[in-house]
């Protein structure tokens, strides 16, 4: 009876260890925030910034769109022509900046 009890305990411990290892391998959360600041300039609102913006969230650029943008976060920033993050204008990787002329971009998404 001791052998059966010991093998059940061993199997339970192995199963628990495998479950913990699997859990540890999963990403902590998809609601990760970019670390750093995204700077941009709007003709109507002046110099603006977004600090530690959430990844995957479409963010509007202030009135009139952005004339310049500087991605000083640790993740890529996709800048869009439209207000709904559908028409890509440019992807700014960490440390990159851009000046815009003509049709200005109106939204950005991180991640």
- 73 by Cβ neighbours in 10 Å (0-12 / 13-18 / 19+) ranks as buried
36-110, which class in CATH? mainly beta
How far apart are alpha carbons 30 and 23 in whole angstroms?
Answer: 15
User: Which pair of tokens denotes residue 83?
Assistant: 């207000």
- Over its length of 111 residues, how does the chain's per-residue pLDDT go in tens digits? 555 555 666 565 555 455 445 444 444 444 589 999 999 999 889 999 999 999 999 999 988 899 999 999 999 999 999 999 999 999 999 999 999 999 999 999 999
Q: Enumerate the β-bridge partners of residue 79.
A: 90, 108
pTM as predicted: 0.71
């Amino acid at each position: 009876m001791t052998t059966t009890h010991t093998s059940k305990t061993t199997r339970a411990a192995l199963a628990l260890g495998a479950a913990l290892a699997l859990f540890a391998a999963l990403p902590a959360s998809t609601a990760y925030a970019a670390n750093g600041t995204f700077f941009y300039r709007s003709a109507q609102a002046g110099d603006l910034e977004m600090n530690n913006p959430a990844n995957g969230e479409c963010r509007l650029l202030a009135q009139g769109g952005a004339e310049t943008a500087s991605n000083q976060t640790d993740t890529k920033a996709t800048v869009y022509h439209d207000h709904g993050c559908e028409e890509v204008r440019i992807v700014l990787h960490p440390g990159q900046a851009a000046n815009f002329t003509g049709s200005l971009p109106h939204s950005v998404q991180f991640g």
